[in-house]
Structure 1
């Protein structure tokens, strides 16, 4: 079976590699490196960009959507049914008022938009795993794909909206990519995300690398749509960064690689 296209009960026990394939993939800290890419892919749909620009606090807290998305994914992977229901209600409640009609009609509860957002999260998660951890076997990839439907269905997306298998997803992914158009609102929101001001100092230190990785992982057409300058020198720097990060990441202890997931879950559970 062809792979999808890539660029390449409350638990107190530590996150371990013997969990479900979806949990094993989502629990890797490398997922963080694809967060910007997933968000810029989402924003390239003008309906998503309009909703985010008009109903979120990107100007004052540009990382809120990213941290919220990570919490959602980690709870889906490692939470209890009650925890999943709670985080889904929270996200669904935040989406309830996200709708409008001028100049583009949008509704965060629209099935097509739910599918697009879920698809970007699934595709980016697997892409980061294959880029920085290791390629998935065919069996792992099939199981991860099937389980990833919950990214959308937990929010009310009909299960039938998720393509039947990875081959069907590949075709749907290409179709959705072909319908994207980076709007002025998308460029504005992306600018706030990629050059945040109200963040810890350490974030400013790593943002040049994050911007490089994010730009390099985007399809060339979207990179151009966001007005990102990309030269052969940028490509060389990007490829060098990928090699270095991969070399370091693969020798890190598993417990360290899953630290972001454990800390995020701990913060979430502290609010219960």
Structure 2
């Protein structure tokens, strides 16, 4: 086990491996799915949406006050016409998916945190929701409380036609630069593998023992290649997106 802070964990570019799973978990909530499918340019500009999300996460964890204000204004503008976007319970769910998928990927790459670090990193991740005006008291007080919330909330998810549309746009994009297309099979594998089994099945994503083996092998290779990289390379996305906000 290792000691780490939210800044150690959130700075790692490898967390991008969980971005697809986080999005599909978010839109498995019908109100979120309807907002994304009907009020977003996700289908035609998926990279822009990813950039906005990353800018938000990096700003609220690492940014200066002016950078946090910038991304909050960006999010507020994007959500202004979206029904339910200001609902604190939905903000909690979105923040929860970012934390849960990030923690999952982090552990797969680096191994588990020691209990004290795990609790502190979890508590500090409340900022992902409170920066969107989610009341702090909505964030479960500890990891045990979060796990109870997570398990109960998953039972109320529903993969609607809107969610399946977002899934199709995410995993089979038509507006993607040619140089990113060869990586999409890996994106589809990692995204499906990081989803809870019942959510993966609800999306109709294919899975099998062979796919499970490939998923495990992909993370082992990713960890073996990623961990020896210099920190400046591992943290390049964080520095890049913060610089864009200046």
User: TM-score of the superposition, structure 1-length normalised?
Assistant: 0.86
Aligned partner of residue 63 in structure 1, secondary structure: helix
2:61 maps to 1:84: no
User: Equivalent residue for 1:179?
Assistant: 156
2:31 maps to 1:47: yes
Structure 1 residue 40 displacement after superposition = 0.5
Structural mapping, 1:208-223, within 5 Å = 208-223=185-200
User: Equivalent residue for 1:12?
Assistant: none
Distance across 2 between alignment mates of 1:92 and 1:169 = 26
Distance across 1 between alignment mates of 2:17 and 2:184 = 11
Give yes or no for contact 1:43–1:49 (8 Å, CA) kept in 2. yes
Structure 1 residue 189 displacement after superposition = 0.9
Distance across 2 between alignment mates of 1:94 and 1:189 = 17
Structural mapping, 1:69-218, within 5 Å = 69-99=53-83, 107-218=84-195
Between 130-139 and 214-223, the greater mean CA deviation after superposition: 130-139
> Gaps (5+ residues) in structure 1?
1-17, 100-106
Give yes or no for contact 1:115–1:162 (8 Å, CA) kept in 2. yes
User: Equivalent residue for 1:8?
Assistant: none
> Gaps (5+ residues) in structure 2?
none
Q: 1:238 aligns with which of 198, 211, 215?
A: 215
Between 259-268 and 169-178, the greater mean CA deviation after superposition: 259-268
When the two structures are aligned, how many residues end up with a matched partner? 244
Aligned-pair RMSD on alpha carbons? 1.4
Between 193-202 and 149-158, the greater mean CA deviation after superposition: 193-202
User: TM-score of the superposition, structure 2-length normalised?
Assistant: 0.95
Aligned partner of residue 41 in structure 2, secondary structure: coil
Distance across 2 between alignment mates of 1:267 and 1:89 = 15
Q: 1:248 aligns with which of 214, 222, 225?
A: 225
Structure 1 residue 134 displacement after superposition = 3.0
More helix by share: 2
